[in-house]
Structure 1
């Protein structure tokens, strides 16, 4: 099985006048960290709720572990950990006691609570009351709850939302660790593009209920890596007429020009040409990132 999640032509609407999802198709490879990216209201949470069956998939467009959801659930929940919206806790209980409640409901041994607390690095804080937990600690405990029973797939909706930079870093490092050391496939949604870019291997970008791009980070880089190349050079303006129009040169300021190129070879050829024209080049960099690509892909 190459794909843990397979979605083919998924549609959903609350009313005919306002469809929420329009022909969604994507594949989540086994062992990947798959980013499901889009602005608030784009359709991310609706899709994820359909993945875990809280909104019915009446058309059979979703397959997980190569099974339709009607075949997969409820037994399939033993292989899937999910965090949609915000986890609920008993604030008067400790982190350990909250985990214990869930493990007993699922007939899991206490050793599972010990294992996941060590994984999320909350063992030392296990006896602290939940009302004293920071937001980052609560989010890590939420993820610990999803890890009970050693799932093969995690479905996480905006797990870094509302966290400070240090909390985001902790969650990111945790998810990368789970993926690399435990082999967990992670399907994660977010609108925080700069943060999610640091951990994902594959992605889909959704806008107004439609998929605008899906593939690996490498695929996305190949499409957009040469679109915003900035060349730093002295007296930039005097070299504008030396650059062929195929590069779409744009003067940024007195010391930089932005170009578009088809390949690394095109960039190298232009640099050689400028050097022969006595240009003093001191910098070449790609000024675009995932956020720029996202804006480009989703713009109307």
Structure 2
């Protein structure tokens, strides 16, 4: 799979004794939604600032579009849309006028502003002053700004931070649409694991400046999935006597059992066994998610 971003052994800090980033390496496949996950202060924003040339990459560790940053600058950055830290607007101007200013600075036609406003579903609100926009609308306008000029890559730093659940949903649906319909590769940092889990195809986990995991969601599942599943069934306590010790069955509540399995065949055998004993099963699910894996990976 073609790599759009490749970073090899990136270290950055004020001195060798105070490194913020320590040998960071990761690859972002073309066409992916790549989640860059970590707690606040883990090194996410610093990494992204180096990727965009805001901080120096003195050892040429970053490649984007198969070019070192020194080769990519300035024209190659036309293919990248970025949003680092909080977006800035002229609050007394409308969403349309904010976009017009940027498009004129970049010698883009006014039709680009219309295109991106329709993409982020703000066309009907284009004449409203941005000081009257909700947080979610402001975030969508900021993403519209990054979409000017048809970029192939979006680099977004905490785009759902501070939004309410509805605003998060709007941004998530927008990013999924941009990825699927426009084919844009999206690199997104966040500490909101449950939200990012709903959209990423690949991810990296960073803790104290060190990459703890980098790869696809499937690879994460393979290497770090807890072998625990939860079975929802009526009157759970009635069926533990029928389950072999191999499964280490544990009652979670009146209608939930947790068991240990090693393969999907184990799940099939257990389900057949319970149904044979007249169990009324209404749910089978993995008991661990990205938040559990994140805690395990960063602690280790």
* Shared fold per TM-score greater than 0.5: yes
Call closer, same or farther: CA 1:249–1:297 in 2, change over 3 Å. Answer: farther
Moved more, 93-102 or 232-241: 232-241
User: Could you say what secondary structure the match of 1:15 adopts?
Assistant: coil
Aligned-pair Cα RMSD in Å:
2.2
Call closer, same or farther: CA 1:145–1:230 in 2, change over 3 Å. Answer: same
Which residue does the alignment assign to 1:208?
A: 208
1:64 aligns with 2:81: no
User: Could you say what secondary structure the match of 1:268 adopts?
Assistant: helix
TM-superposed CA distance for 1:250, in Å, is 3.6
Which residue does the alignment assign to 2:80?
A: 80
TM-score (ref. length: structure 1): 0.91
Post-superposition Cα deviations, 1:144-170, rounded to whole Å, max 9, x if no partner, equal 110111000000000011111111111
TM-superposed CA distance for 1:189, in Å, is 0.6
Gaps of 5+ in 1: none
Contact 1:84–1:156, Cα closer than 8 Å, also in 2:
yes
Call closer, same or farther: CA 1:19–1:243 in 2, change over 3 Å. Answer: farther
Post-superposition Cα deviations, 1:164-192, rounded to whole Å, max 9, x if no partner, equal 11111111111111111111110001111
Which residue does the alignment assign to 1:49?
A: 49
Which residue does the alignment assign to 2:114?
A: 114
Which residue does the alignment assign to 1:156?
A: 156
Provide the C-alpha distance between the structure 2 equivalents of 1:298 and 1:283, rounded to a whole number of angstroms: 30
User: Could you say what secondary structure the match of 1:49 adopts?
Assistant: helix
User: Could you say what secondary structure the match of 2:14 adopts?
Assistant: strand
Post-superposition Cα deviations, 1:98-131, rounded to whole Å, max 9, x if no partner, equal 1111111111111111111111111111111111
TM-score (ref. length: structure 2): 0.91
Which residue does the alignment assign to 2:19?
A: 19
Contact 2:42–2:209, Cα closer than 8 Å, also in 1:
yes
Provide the C-alpha distance between the structure 1 equivalents of 2:116 and 2:34, rounded to a whole number of angstroms: 22
Provide the C-alpha distance between the structure 2 equivalents of 1:116 and 1:233, rounded to a whole number of angstroms: 49
Contact 2:204–2:215, Cα closer than 8 Å, also in 1:
yes
Provide the C-alpha distance between the structure 1 equivalents of 2:276 and 2:270, rounded to a whole number of angstroms: 10
Q: After the TM superposition, which residues 1-300 of structure 1 pair with which residues of structure 2 at under 5 Å, given as runs?
A: 2-225=2-225, 227-233=227-233, 236=236, 247-273=247-273, 281=281, 283-300=283-300
TM-superposed CA distance for 1:19, in Å, is 2.0
Provide the C-alpha distance between the structure 2 equivalents of 1:137 and 1:55, rounded to a whole number of angstroms: 29
Provide the C-alpha distance between the structure 2 equivalents of 1:222 and 1:5, rounded to a whole number of angstroms: 24
The number of equivalent residue pairs is: 300
Provide the C-alpha distance between the structure 2 equivalents of 1:28 and 1:119, rounded to a whole number of angstroms: 24
